[in-house]
Structure 1
């Protein structure tokens, strides 16, 4: 039972990682974020990234490091969720 739930949760985290990466890469292309796909991904990813953008200002006005911190934080969150699942199902 643990393995199935852990696989599903892990897959959801991986999908979110890829959505964040796609959204960040979209900033390199003009009007990509304004497309319907860009807006959809933005609605999923922007609330999470906004948390980090409040505390980490862009360097030099152009270089936004908040996504890097967001990726690291999401990895810690994933590890914490996995630990909680282990406690619930393997204890």
Structure 2
């Protein structure tokens, strides 16, 4: 069962260009549906890689990253409050 997927004009243009290039280089005509299916199947090695590709940043940190940060901490023995931080940052 086919379902319509909306894409922006730039993506549609790139899809059409790739479709034409496949036809020129292989002599095979492929539908955009076939092309999208093939791209999706071969784009990433795993579902996790696809999910990770949408992360805008590394936040929240992984458990391993958190542990590495904890390893670098030490106590200076001086208690610091918000006013001390403001003074250090803003003078």
Same fold (TM over 0.5): no
Q: Which has the higher contact order (CA 8 A, sep 6+)?
A: 1
Larger radius of gyration: 2
TM-score, with length taken from structure 1 = 0.29
When you count helix as a share of all residues, which structure comes out higher? 1
TM-score, with length taken from structure 2 = 0.29
